[in-house]
Amino acid sequence: MSMSMAATEITGGGGAVQAAPPAEPRYDVAAIMGGLYGDGIIGLKGAFDREWVRRLGEDIEGLFRDALKRPGGAVGRGPNRYYVEIHPEKIRGFVELATHPWVVAVCSAVLGPEYRIVEIGFDVPGPGAQYQPWHRDFPAPPETLVGRRLNSLAFNVTTVDVSEDMGPFEIAPGTQWDEPAGFDHGMFPPKSLYPRYEARAQQKMPKMGDVSARSALTIHRGTANQSNKSRPVLVLGADAPDARNAERHDLQFTRACYDALPDEVRPHLACRVVDELVPIVQAHTIEGLVMGEA
C-alpha cells in the first residue's frame, strides 16, 4: 500500500506505532487563490471577537481626532471621507491582526513566504460622504498587466456593523485584470465603462469581527453615506518582494516596540526602526478622489 493511502509506521520500543497523518492546512490555498485571482476579493467572517474590534474602534476614533487637528494628518478621499496612515503601535491589536492564521495564509499563498506588510491606516467615510468615482488604488504594475500575477493585497477590518445606508464599499468582481486603456493616471476608468462596473457591482456589508482581503486593482468605490454614522475601516497593505508600494508609505516602529514583536512578525515588515515616532507624511494621495463623483 502506498504512503498516500496509509499512515506511516514507526518501529521502536514495544513495536510498531502508527503516526498520525499530516494535518490538513487550516485554510485552503486553492480557494484563496481562486477567490483573489477570480473575483479579486475574499473574506473571513468572525475572524475576531467583537470586544477586540471595539477596542480597535476606540483607538481609531482617538487617532482620527488627532489627525484632523494636524496639518496633513488626514488625506481627503472625497467629501466627508478621509484616509489616515498610522503607526502600528498606536493601536491595540496590530500583532493579533498580523499573526492571524487567515491573514498569514492569504499573504503566503498569493504573495509568497517573503511577503511584507507595508502599510496600516484607516478610512473614515462620514455622514454625507458621496459616491466616489470607480477607481483602482494605484496603477496596475507590469507584474499584473503582463505577468498576470497579483503582487499586493489590501486587508480591511470594519469597526462597525455596516448597513445599506452607511455608504458600503462597492466592488466590481474580476476587474483587477482590466486593461487600463483610457484610465486617467492609470487608475480612473472612463465613464463609458461605468455600466460594465455597475452591472457587476457588489456592495459589501461586513459585521464587526469580519476581515476581507482584496486586490486594490479590482475596480471599486465608496458609496454615499446617508446615515448619521461614520463607517471606519482599518486597512493593512501587504506586498510581494517585487512590489514597490512601500515607497508610498512610511511604516515606523520604535526600537522597544520592534524588539518586543514576535519573531514571526519582524521578517514581514517593510519599516523603519526609530528612536521616536515622527508624523507620517502621506505619500499616497489619490487626486481623483478629492472631489468625489463628478
pLDDT of residue 12: 38
Helix/strand/coil for 29 = helix
Buried b (16+ CB within 10 A) or exposed e, 220-238: bbbbbbebeebbbbbbbbb
Per residue in 241-280, pLDDT tens?
999 999 999 999 999 999 999 999 999 999 999 999 998 8
Helix (H) or strand (E) holding 154: strand 152-158
Q: How many CB atoms lie within 10 A of CB 126?
A: 18
Walk across the sheet containing 220-222 and list its strands. Answer: 202-204, 169-171, 220-222
Contact between 107 and 241 (Cβ < 8 Å): no
d(CA 218, CA 182): 16
- Evaluate if residue 290 carries a pLDDT over 70: no
Rounded distance between C-alpha atoms, residue 87 and residue 91, angstroms: 8
Q: Count CB-CB contacts under 10 A for residue 21.
A: 11
Indicate whether 285 pLDDT > 90: no
Out of 1-5, 55-59, 72-76, least confident range: 1-5
Q: Are 156 and 234 in contact, with CB atoms under 8 Å apart?
A: yes
Q: What is the amino acid identity at position 171?
A: I
Residue 263, CA distances (Å) to 99, 152, 214 in order: 11, 23, 26
pLDDT in tens, 68-81: 998 888 888 888 99
DSSP string computed for 119-149: EEEEEEE-TTPPPPPSB-SSPPPHHHHTT--
Task: Give the chain's domains with CATH numbers.
Answer: 23-289 (2.60.120.620)
How far apart, in whole angstroms, are the C-alpha atoms of residue 41 and residue 72? 31
Q: What's the confidence (pLDDT) of residue 280?
A: 84
Note the pLDDT tens digit of each residue in 189-199: 999 999 999 99
Q: How far apart are CA 1 and CA 65, in angstroms?
A: 66
Q: How far is CA 131 from the centre of its chain?
A: 21
Task: Indicate the pTM of the whole model.
Answer: 0.89
